[in-house]
Structures are given as structure tokens and as C-alpha cells.
Amino acid sequence: MEKFAFLFPGQGTQFLQMGKAFYDHYPIARQTFEEASDVSGLDLANLCFSGTVSSLNEFSNMQLAILTTEIAIFRAYMNDYGVYPQFAVGHSIGEYAALVSAGAMTFADAITIMMKRGELVSRIIQKNMGHMAIIEQASSQMIEDCIKASHAQDSVYISCFNSESQYAISGWNDKLEAVEQLLLDKEAIVSPLFHSPPIHSPAMNEICMEYLDFMNGFEFYPFRFPVISNYSGAPFSDPAQIAKTLTYHLISPVLFTSASNLFHKYGVTATIEMSPKLLLSEFIKEDQPNIKTYCYGLINDKQKLDELFQSDPNFVKDMPNFAGRCLSILVSTENKNQNQNEYKEVVKIYEKIKEKYNEQQKNHAGTAADPHAEMLDMLIAALRMKRLEPKQLKNCVKTLLDETNSFYRFATVYNAL
């Protein structure tokens, strides 16, 4: 069996028309764009499909566009195959998409947090004092040597470790330009990104505490699978670490090579990039050539995966069954109700849902006009009878709706809990 890692890239992913094929062909993708627009007040479909390049590349807009497109693609994949990864890894902005895919952060909250991140980073941009640059055909040691030779240790930093031969550096303009020139003299390839803020470096220190305070106002949730942190280069799955990890993420380098080096250790045999174009897959091909790479946003790779899931025994779909997930949640949650008569009602509900599950397994539609709505009502009633805390009950329902791509159908029910 193939073991997957999901990849979510960041800046550089954006281009006009990105995600449009998914928007046109998957209701769940269209609903994702609509939710992002409702939360942000920005028409994401218009921005991505028919806006201008300059508008799409504006930092705050770019963040929202990438996050929305990647979650739309991820949800389309889950709609088609339902197979979760060993873990996910995002690059910069992509880490937020990875956390949403893992269920640790709601998409709406991720959009809200991205908006705040954009607002804070824009303060640095307005000073027009720093930028980033991509460095290729160089080693990290060569870059560090050039930083030292320029006496720029306190103003220029390696901000992304992308692969064994590609890095990003961030810092203040005058010192950064001096480092860039030294690297050019050593025949490295230097691509200045003058419109990119010096993110993932201490240049962001002044906005960190405000960002942390803002994120501490959000609720985060249990992970369905670990996410490899850009900050530590190691997997984490503790919701309590999210706010602090994403704050350090602003001022610390992206350790993508550390993440990709973990793939063999955890048995990953293939990566699926949830992106409208190849980006991180190229780094994997360079550093981990034995790992198969696919990009779900590319039509050729999407068709290849479809063929593999239909014919290759190592690619097995795992489509979640709504009734089956309801049963699993009922069985796995602790009963805190000592009243035996009330608990008997829980058992009756379990049997009713099981009956509907058996009907579905026999390819019968069941008798209810909307069997999923009825089962959800029964599940909520049973969890209340088991005396679950409201927060735990809501988490159970969130898990069900996330795993069955049913959130938009039952958003009103969920929000009322």
C-alpha cells in the first residue's frame, strides 16, 4: 500500500485562473471559494479567475488566494478518494492549509487568521526596508559565509531551506543587496523578490506578540494526522502548540528539507501536492528521487492518480460512509451518563443508524428524504444522552462533517451547537 504525504506550497503558487477547473466541476470547491469570500469580504473567485496579476500578487490577497485554492483542491481529492496521508507539510502559507486539511483549524478561522497576518506583515512592507531573494546553485554554508563577509549577521538571514540547492534569504535592503552581490560573484543564481517582505526572519519580530495574542483567541482541534512544522522541521499534533508554532513561523526559517528528509523514516512512498501547479514536488524529486510525486491540480497527474486508484492494488480508495462514521463516533465516545434508562435510548439510536448503514451497504437509499440529516440528528441526540461536554460534542460533529465533506450541507446545524 502506498503511504502518502500531502504537500501544500506557499508563495509562488499563484497565477490567474488557478483552481478554476475545480471550481467549475466540484460543488465542494465552489463552496470553499464562497465561504472564503463570505469570511473575508473579498470575492476570491473574481480575484483568482478574472482579476489582475498585480492584485493577485498583493501580499494579503495572495495569501487568501493560495489558501482557498489549495483547500478547494484538497477537498476535491477527498471527495474522489478519501485517503488521508501519513502526515502533511506546508511551505510558509501552505502550513495553514496543511492544518486545515488535518482538521486542526477550521477553514473560516484560517481565512480570518490569514487576514490578520496580511495586515501585520503589511506594516513591514510599508516601511520598504527589506525583501527576500531566491538563491540557487549554492549551499547553505556558502550563503552563511557571504552573510558573514558582508557583516550582515544581524540583518540578513537564510529564511527558507527548500532543497539541497535552493534557499531563500530575507533581510534589510542594503545589507541584502551586498550579500546578493557576493553570491553572484560565486556564480550562484540570485533572484531578488523586491515585492516580498523579509518574512521568516527576525525582521518580523515587532509584529509577533500581536499575532500571538490574536491567535490565542481561536479554538484549535485534534489533528486527524500530524503536520510537519516549518519552524521545527518535525511532526506535531498538539492543538495547544498551534498559536505559538505559527508565531515562530513568522520569524524562523522554513525547514522544508528537514521535513522531506523525514519521509523515508515514516514510510512515505508518494507525495500528493494539493496545488494548482508543481512547486514542492520539484524539491522532492531533487532530494528524494525514490519517492513518487503527484500534483492533484495538474490534469495529467490527476488522470494518472485516477487510473492508479482504479487499477493499482497499492492505491485503495477509502471513501467515508456517513452512517459508518456516525457509528464509529458513537462507539468511541465515553458514556458519562449513569442513568441506565437514558443510556438504553443511546443503544436504540445506535441500532437505528446501524440499520441505515446496512441499507446503504446493500445499495438501498433508505426511507428518509435526507437520511444523512436524520442520522446527524440522531447522533447529536445520542451524544447529548451520553452527557458529552458541548465542546466535545461539537468536535465530534466537526470531525464527521469534515471527513464526509458534508460541512456546507450542515453548517447551520453545526453552528447552532
The full 3-state SS of 154-182, as one line of letters, equals CCEEEEEECCCCEEEEEEEHHHHHHHHHH
**Sheet hosting strand 166-172, strand order edge to edge:** 156-161, 166-172, 130-136, 189-193
Instruction: Residue 375: name the closest of 355, 394, 403, 391 by CA.
Output: 355
Whole-angstrom CA distances from 326 to 168, 187, 391 are 46, 60, 17
Q: State pTM to two decimals.
A: 0.92
What DSSP element (H or E) covers 111? helix 107-127
Instruction: Residue 323: name the closest of 287, 365, 280 by CA.
Output: 365
Q: Would you say the C-alpha torsion 47, 52, 55, 59 has a positive or negative sign?
A: positive
CA-only gyration radius of the chain, Å: 23
Instruction: Residue 296: name the closest of 53, 44, 101 by CA.
Output: 101
Strands 292-295 and 189-193, sheet pairing: unpaired
pLDDT reported for residue 367: 46
Domain boundaries, the chain: 4-124+203-315, 129-194, 321-416
Separation CA 171–CA 157 (nearest Å): 6
Separation CA 71–CA 114 (nearest Å): 14
SS3 at position 339: coil
pLDDT reported for residue 366: 47
Asked if residues 105 and 24 have their Cβ atoms less than 8 Å apart, the reply is no
SS3 at position 135: strand
Q: What is the pLDDT along the chain (417 residues), one digit of tens a residue?
A: 889 999 999 999 999 999 999 999 999 999 999 999 999 999 999 999 999 999 999 999 999 999 999 999 999 999 999 999 999 999 999 999 999 999 999 999 999 999 999 999 999 999 888 999 999 999 999 999 999 999 999 999 999 999 999 999 999 999 999 999 999 999 999 999 988 999 999 999 999 999 999 999 999 999 999 999 999 999 999 999 999 999 999 999 999 999 999 998 889 999 999 999 999 999 999 999 999 999 999 999 999 999 999 999 989 888 888 999 999 999 999 898 888 888 888 999 999 999 888 877 776 544 445 689 999 999 999 999 999 999 999 999 999 999 898 999 999 999 999
Separation CA 50–CA 27 (nearest Å): 20
- Cα atoms in the Cβ-side hemisphere of radius 13 Å centred on 333: 29
b/e sequence 294-319, b meaning 16+ C-beta within 10 Å: bbbbbeebbeebeebbeeeeebeeee
Asked if residues 251 and 201 have their Cβ atoms less than 8 Å apart, the reply is yes
Asked if residues 161 and 256 have their Cβ atoms less than 8 Å apart, the reply is yes
Asked if residues 135 and 183 have their Cβ atoms less than 8 Å apart, the reply is yes
Separation CA 335–CA 337 (nearest Å): 6
> At the top level of CATH, which class does the domain 129-194 belong to?
alpha beta
- The CATH superfamily label for domain 4-124+203-315 reads Malonyl-Coenzyme A Acyl Carrier Protein, domain 2 (3.40.366.10)
Strands 292-295 and 270-273, sheet pairing: parallel
